[in-house]
Structure 1
Amino acid sequence: MEFYTHTLPNGIRCIHKRVKSAVSYCALTVGAGSRDELPGEQGIAHLTEHTLFKGTEHRKAYHINCRLENLGGELNAFTTKEETVVHATTLRGDFPKAAELIADLVFHSVFPTRELEKEKEVIVDEINSYKDSPSERIFDDFEELLFSGSPLGHNILGTKSAILRYGREDILRFAGRTYNTDQMIFSSIGNVSEKNFVRTVEKYLGGVGNRPRTFTREAPGAYVPFHKTVNRNTHQAHCIVGGRAYSINDPRRITLSLLTNLLGGPSANSLLNVALREKNGLSYSVEAGYSPLNDSGIFTIYFGTDRDKTDRCMEIVDRQLSQLKSTPLSARRLSMAKKQYLGQLAIAMESNEGYMLGAAKSYLVYGHVDEIGTVCRKIAAITREQIQEVANDLFTDTSVLLYK
C-alpha cells in the first residue's frame, strides 16, 4: 500500500506517504458538509469553516494567520457538500507545526462573536460576487432543482439573511454535532518518517476525546427531470444539461468518469469541444463533469453561447449523446480515451497536495486508497458495451437549466 495508516484511540484515521521533497503537505478531512445542515442551518457548514480561523483557546486570529505564513508556508480550508477540509503546506521541518495548528483550529476554536460578525460580512460579499458570475451560479441553481427538498440541493454559501442570523451558539452546536472523530482523516505527504508521523499525530490529535457520529445522512428523494429557462439578463446564454448519477460506492462510477472525460473533459479533442467550438465556433466554454456523492451523484454538461445560438448548441449536444447511446465506440476510440484519461490521472498525481486530498477522501469513504496500478487495471477493463450502457442509463430523460 502506498500510504502508511494509523488509527488513534479516538477514531481519527491517519494516512501518510513518504516522498523525497523539501515540502510537506497535511490536511484534516472532516466528513461534515452542507448536506449535514439541519432545517434552518443553510450555509452554516461554510460559515463554521471560515470562523475556525478567527480564534482558538491558544491563539487570536492574527497569530493563526502568521503561524505558518511567517515560515513561508500556507494554511487554507474549503467546504463541500460532504466534507470540510483544513490543509497546510510547509517546509519539511515545519510539519509538526502545521499538524499542531490544524488540530488547534478544528478542536479548540472559540468562534469569538466580534470576529464572527466581521466574517459574516466577508461571506455576504462572497455570495454577492458569486451571483455576478452566471457561469458559476447556474451550477448551484441546477443542483437545487436536481435535489429539491434535500440538503444536497443547498447552496454551500447559504443565503445572506441566514448567514447574518447565525450566532456563536449556532456554530458550536453544528460543529459539536457533525465534527465527529470517526469521520475524520488526517493525511500527509512529505519526507517525514513513519515514526515521526505517528509521534506527531499522537501528540496533537491523540488527546482529543472520542466523538462518534450519532446520526445518519438522509438520502435525497425521488428525482423528476425538469426543463427550466430563467431570465438573468446576461450577455450570453448559459446552459446545463444533466441529471443524477452514480454514487461513490457504485462500480459504474469509473465507467462514467471515463465517459465524462471523453465527452467534455479538459482536452481540446473532447467530443463536445470539437463539435461546438472547433467545428462550428459556437462556444468558447464547454465542459462535462461528474461528482459522485455518498448516496447519489451529479453529471453535467455546461456551455455558454450567444443567445441566438442556444438551440443550435442544444441540437449538437443532443446529437452527441444520442450517438453515444446508439453506437458503441470503436476499439481505437476507446483505447485512445483510456490512454488520455490515464495520462491525465498520472499527471494530476504529480501534485502531492491534490493526491493527498484525494487519498483522504478515498480513505474516508472506502477505508483504503487504491494504488495507481489498481486504478489503471479498472480503467483498462472498461468495455465499449459498458460505456454504451451507462450512456443509455444516464443520458435519457436529462434535465435542462438555461439562463437567457
Structure 2
Amino acid sequence: MEFETYTLPNGIRGIHRQVKSNVAHCALIVGAGSRDERPSEYGLAHFTEHAFFKGTARRKAWQVNCRLENLGGELNAFTTKEETTIHATTLRSDFAKAAELIADIAFRSTFPDRELQKEREVIADEINTYKDSPADLIYDTFEDLLFAGSELGHNILGRKAAIARYDGAAVRSFVERTHTTDRMVFSSIGNLSCKAVAAVAARHFGETPTSERTFLRERPADVAPFERTVTRHTHQIHCIIGCRAYGLQDERRLPLALLVNLLGGPSANSLLNVVVREQNGLSYNIEAGYTPYTDCGGVAIYFSSEPCNRDRCIELIRRELERLKTTPLTSRRLSMAKKQFIAQLAISMESNEGYMLGAGKSFLVHDRVDTMEEVYRKVEVLTARELTETAEEIFGETSQLIYK
C-alpha cells in the first residue's frame, strides 16, 4: 500500500502510509522558506524555525525540548529556500503526543523576546561555523549569482546584523503572512491506519483557522553566464561549474536527474569521479547535484583540488559535458545508469523518515505522490536521445565560480 490522503476543513492536507513498524514519523511541512522573505527579512524564515522551540502558550522552552525526548523520541526542524519543516520520531504508541507537540509549536508559539535573545547568539555561531566551511559556502555564493535579483538569490541563514534586529513581533508578522493553512501538509508514516491518523490530525490541527497565501512567488529573471573568482585564502581551490535548470513542475526534471546522477552522483563509478579522481588523481572530492525549486532549478558540479590542478580539472569536466551533449549513451551504458538510479531511489526509500518527508513535499507541490512503481516506469522509458537533448539544452552555457 502506498500513501493515502485526506484534507482538513481548514485546508491543511494530510498524507499517510501505513507500514509494519514500532516507530512512527510525522512532520508538518509548510510552504514557506527564505524565498518568501522580503528584502528587510533575510534570514527571518530560519530564525522563525528556531523561535518555534522557545515556548508556547502551553509549554516553556525546556518543556518543548523534553516532551518527546523523555519518551525516547526526537523533535527537530529545518528550513530550506521554499519550506519550513517540523518533524518528529516516536514509538507508535506516542504518535498522538508527537502530533500534538508539532501543532502546539506551529500554532501556539509565543516567541518570547528573552528566549529569542539567546537564540540570536546561537544562530550567529551557526553563521560563523558555516563561514568556516568554504565547501558549503561556495554553494550559497553560486546561487546568489545564478539567481541574482530574485529572492532565491540569498542564503538561508541571513546576516548577523539582520538577525540581531528580529524580535517576537517580526516573527509573528512573518508567520501570519507566510504560514498559511493552504500551504501546509501533515505527512506521516507508521503502523496506524489513515483513518486513525486523520482523526489525530483533526483533533490537533483542525482548530487552526483557515488562511490563504496572498502573494505569489516570482520566477527569477534570466542571468547571463558568468565566471567569477573570489579570494578567500583557502588551502585548496574550490570550484563550481553550473547553470539554471528545470523546476519541479517540469516533466524534464527526471531525465535531468538521471543525467546528473550519471555525471557526478554518489557512486564511485560516476563519470566525473572516474575521470578526475580515479584516472588522474586530481581531486579527492568531486560531485554533481541538481536542485529543483517550484519554477526553476540549478545544476552544480563541485570539486576541490590543489591550485595547480584547477585548470586540468575544469578541462576534464567540460570534456565530459561536451560528450554528453554530442554522443548518445550506448544501450548498455543507458541500462546500467537506469538500474543504478532506480536502485539508489529504492535504497533511499528504506528510510521511513526520508520517505515520509519526500512524500510530504511532493504532496505539497504536486498534490500527489508517484508510487515507486510509477517512478520506475518513467525512468525505464527514457531514451539516450532524451538525455542527449537534455544535456545539450542544460549544459549549452554554463557559469563558473572559484574560491581560492
Task: Return the TM-score normalized by structure 2.
Answer: 0.99
Cα deviation digits, residues 256-311 of structure 1 (max 9, x gap): 00000000000000000001110001000010000111110010100000011000
Cα deviation digits, residues 101-141 of structure 1 (max 9, x gap): 00000000010000101101100100000000000000000
Give distance in 1, aligned partners of 2:153 and 2:288: 19
Is 1:402 the counterpart of 2:397 in the alignment? no
Q: Which moved more, 1:193-202 or 1:244-253?
A: 193-202
Partner of 1:286: 286
Give distance in 1, aligned partners of 2:218 and 2:114: 34
AA of the residue aligned to 1:289: G
Is 1:191 the counterpart of 2:191 in the alignment? yes
Partner of 1:378: 378
Partner of 1:150: 150
| Unaligned 5+ runs, structure 2 | none
Partner of 1:66: 66
Partner of 1:20: 20
Shift of 1:195: 2.5
Instruction: Map 1:25-36 onto structure 2 (within 5 A).
Output: 25-36=25-36
Give distance in 2, aligned partners of 1:323 and 1:81: 33
AA of the residue aligned to 1:55: G
Task: Return the TM-score normalized by structure 1.
Answer: 0.99
Cα deviation digits, residues 197-219 of structure 1 (max 9, x gap): 12101100111100111111121
Give distance in 2, aligned partners of 1:223 and 1:2: 41
Instruction: Map 1:331-342 onto structure 2 (within 5 A).
Output: 331-342=331-342
Give the root-mean-square deviation of aligned CA atoms. Answer: 0.7
Paired residues, number: 404
AA of the residue aligned to 1:195: K
Is 1:116 the counterpart of 2:116 in the alignment? yes
Q: Helix, strand or coil: the match of 1:29?
A: strand
Instruction: Map 1:193-212 onto structure 2 (within 5 A).
Output: 193-212=193-212
Give distance in 1, aligned partners of 2:147 and 2:86: 27
Cα deviation digits, residues 297-351 of structure 1 (max 9, x gap): 0101000000110000000001000111111111100000000000000000000
Partner of 1:3: 3
Partner of 2:247: 247
Q: Helix, strand or coil: the match of 1:332?
A: helix
Give distance in 2, aligned partners of 1:244 and 1:159: 25
Partner of 2:168: 168
Give distance in 1, aligned partners of 2:179 and 2:198: 22
Partner of 1:273: 273
AA of the residue aligned to 2:372: I
AA of the residue aligned to 1:364: L
Same amino acid, percent of matched pairs:
61
Cα deviation digits, residues 188-235 of structure 1 (max 9, x gap): 000012231121011001111001111111211122110001111000
- Runs of 4+ displaced beyond 4 Å: none
Q: Helix, strand or coil: the match of 2:96?
A: helix
Partner of 1:346: 346
Partner of 2:313: 313
Shift of 1:379: 0.4
AA of the residue aligned to 2:2: E
Give distance in 2, aligned partners of 1:194 and 1:224: 49
Give distance in 2, aligned partners of 1:143 and 1:242: 10
Give distance in 1, aligned partners of 2:252 and 2:311: 31
Q: Helix, strand or coil: the match of 2:182?
A: helix
Shift of 1:4: 1.3
| Unaligned 5+ runs, structure 1 | none
Cα deviation digits, residues 19-44 of structure 1 (max 9, x gap): 00000000000000000001210000
Partner of 2:139: 139
Give distance in 1, aligned partners of 2:145 and 2:316: 24
Partner of 2:296: 296
Cα deviation digits, residues 141-196 of structure 1 (max 9, x gap): 00000111111011000011111111111111000000010100001000012231
Q: Which moved more, 1:152-161 or 1:187-196?
A: 187-196
